[in-house]
Amino acid sequence: MHLILDRQELAKGNMVALTVEAPAIAAKIKPGQFVILRLNDTGERVPLTVALRDPQHGTITIIFQVLGKSTAMLGSLKIGDAIKDLVGPLGLADEFRKIGTIVGIGGGSGIAVLHHLLTGYAEAGNHLIGVIGAREKDFIILEDEMTTLCDRLLITTDDGSYGAHGLVTDALKSLVEEQIEIHLVIAVGPVVMMRAICQMTRLYKIPTLVSLNPIMVDGTGMCGACRVTVGGVTKFACVDGPHFDGHQVDFDELIQRNNMYTRDEKTSLLFSIRAG
């Protein structure tokens, strides 16, 4: 059992940050790796990338969007409640080396994952430009943390209520038009966002790393649920990723596979709400 030590609501309560007691994971996990949790014996296995780690206090923080039945149940937990199983660290850790100027782009709840990943690249001495975007002001998360971490931060909102009016791709375009030499783009967020970024960076010839979040079940490469095609080759995001060369990813296939259970998830959430 893993005790919940802190709980914060972000983005109008649509996102929740839980700090959980997990000393063994906190001691080992690297930015970008993830955990799979289960709330109870019959619960769904939920993969979540860790947003913060504190090895000294033996805690990890997960930030997630309340989307389906399991994340709604997770979001309803309070300080003092516990998560039954927590498995990790899972996935490959990135090799954090000095690359030069890195533009890290986070959309919506993807900002939490981006922030943790960028801490690894900051420690390696890179020059970091952050771009974070959300549909409106209240959905921008971790602005203070990103301001501290990055040498420069650009913020966009779809409705223009905060930062620049537009999408994160507009901010990327403005950076390219400033003729900044960008050595790497890292994109974390909705698949359509990552696809749009990769379409742009392919034209600009900027290497691009994306963090993929396909459906996962076992997280150990056995079930095949997280299958993605990268460079024409089948990969399992849980053991071969979750970070891949974005120019090689078949995003259309990923979108199709991620949508396979959307209807079932909505029905399951509806039943759980009706059941109280």
Q: How many residues bind ligand NAD (CB under 6 A)?
A: 24
Which H, E and C letters describe 132-173, residue by residue? EEECCHHHCCCHHHHHHHCCEEEEEECCCCCCEECCHHHHHH
List Cβ neighbours of 30 (8 Å cut-off, separation of 6 or more). 89, 93, 94, 120
Partner from ligand FES, ligand NAD, none contacting 225, C-beta within 5 to 8 A by type: ligand FES
Q: How far apart are CA 194 and CA 102, in angstroms?
A: 16
Shortest gap between Cβ of 193 and ligand NAD (angstroms)? 4
Stretch 198-257 residues interacting with ligand NAD (CB under 6 A): 211-213
Which of ligand NAD, ligand FES, none binds 156 (CB below 5-8 Å, type-dependent)? ligand NAD
Residue from 150, 228, 238, 269 touching ligand FES (CB under 6 A): that is: 238
Please tell me whether residue 90 adopts helix, strand or coil conformation: strand
Which amino acid is present at 149?
A: L
189, 110 in Cβ contact below 8 A?
yes
Nearer to ligand FES, 79 or 222 (CB): 222
Task: Give the C-alpha separation, 173 to 156, whole Å.
Answer: 12
Q: At its nearest, how many Å lie between ligand FES and the CB of residue 107?
A: 23
Which residues between 188 and 217 bind ligand FES (CB under 6 A)? 216-217
Q: Which residue is nearest to ligand NAD (CB)?
A: 108
The C-alpha atoms of residue 140 and residue 109 are separated, in whole angstroms, by 9
168 lies in the binding site for ligand NAD (CB under 6 A): yes
Question: What residue has token string 């396909």?
Answer: 214
Report the residue from 17, 197, 225, 249 that binds ligand FES according to the rule CB under 6 A.
225
For the chain, where are the alpha helices, taking DSSP H only? Answer: 23-28, 69-75, 110-123, 143-149, 168-177, 191-204, 237-240, 251-258, 262-274
Give yes or no for residue 222 binding ligand FES (CB under 6 A). Answer: yes
For position 226 contacting ligand FES by CB under 6 A, the verdict is yes
Contacting residue, 21, 94, 145, 218, with ligand FES by CB under 6 A = 218
Among 67, 207, 221, 250, binds ligand FES (CB under 6 A): 221
Q: Counting contacts by CB under 6 A, is residue 87 touching ligand FES?
A: no
